Amino acid sequence: MSPKPRAKRLSETNRAIVSLQIDNVPVEALAGDTLLTAILLSTGQTGRDAFNQTRQAGFCLMGACQSCWVWSAAGQRFRACDTPVQQGLQIYTDGERLGW
């Protein structure tokens, strides 16, 4: 099953566009978005649940549940819900399977 957006932007569309890649998919976010916002508006998935390995999409949206980990191309881990998007950033949502 291919990833799908889980959200749709309805307002605040006049901010600057920020281009990044999520799992090698080019994505456009807006300045001030978090990585989780960019994910939910595009690929729709973060990492895997530690117990049953199902794909996640964040839960608390405020840095408490740890279900939104993503990794940079260098293997640095971030919580997607409290990390702002950056121009040119490459993010991977399944870093544990990539050996990070």
Under the rule (CB under 6 A), what is the footprint of ligand FES?
A: 58-61, 63-68, 79, 81
Tell me how far apart the alpha carbons of residues 60 and 92 are, in angstroms, rounded to a whole number.
20
Q: How far is the CB of 69 from ligand FES (least distance, A)?
A: 8
Cβ proximity to ligand FES, 81 vs 89, nearer residue: 81
Closest CB to ligand FES among 66 and 86? 66
Q: Residue 81: helix, strand or coil by DSSP? A: helix
| Per-residue tokens: 66 | 């740890």
> Between residues 16 and 37, which has the closer beta carbon with respect to ligand FES?
37
Residue 35 dihedral angles phi and psi, to the nearest 5°: -60, -35
Q: Residue 14 CB, nearest distance to ligand FES (Å)?
A: 26
CA–CA distance, 41 with 3 (Å, rounded to integer) = 11
